[in-house]
């Protein structure tokens, strides 16, 4: 159990160091990345948790990233492209029917 805790702390430190390197100046509150990395390495658990708190607060305050792809939350039945492809597939599968004809009883 003790070894697992040590491995988790090492993983957290590695994650935070990489995250500091990839962060923007605004996310670091204008502090040089070397200072953040030193804090994380000198006071491992506290430094990592402080970094995560600062990063989280700065990224949520900035709002969603406009360059990030937007996730679609609607179903495929709301997508006009999907519906038109579905109609095309149906027409190809059964060319004898038309959209104007009433359904067979």
Token pair, residue 99, equals 């959209």
What letter does residue 31 receive in the DSSP assignment? -
Cβ atoms of residues 51 and 15 within 8 Å? no
Q: What is the pTM of this model?
A: 0.57
Domain ranges of the chain: 2-62
> pLDDT tens digits, residue range 58-101?
877 776 666 666 655 577 677 778 888 888 888 888 876 655 55
How deeply is 33 buried, as exposed, middle or buried, from its count of CB atoms within 10 A (0-12, 13-18, 19+)? middle
Give the Cα separation of 98 and 14 in Å (integer). 62
Q: Considering only CA atoms, which of 11, 62, 54 is closest in space to residue 35? A: 54
> pLDDT tens digits, residue range 3-62?
999 999 999 999 999 999 999 888 888 899 999 999 999 999 999 999 999 988 887 777
Measured CA distances, 82 to 64, 72, 87 (Å):
27, 13, 9
Tokens 């009433």 correspond to 102
């Amino acid at each position: 159990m003790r070894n697992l805790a040590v491995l988790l702390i090492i993983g957290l430190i590695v994650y935070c160091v990489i995250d500091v390197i990839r962060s923007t100046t605004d996310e670091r509150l204008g502090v040089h990345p070397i200072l953040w990395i030193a804090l994380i390495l000198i006071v491992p658990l506290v430094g990592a948790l402080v970094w995560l708190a600062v990063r989280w607060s700065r990224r949520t305050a900035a709002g969603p990233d406009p360059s990030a792809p937007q996730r679609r939350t609607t179903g495929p039945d709301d997508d006009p492209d999907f519906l038109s492809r579905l109609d095309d597939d149906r027409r190809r599968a059964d060319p004898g029917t038309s959209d104007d004809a009433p359904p067979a009883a």
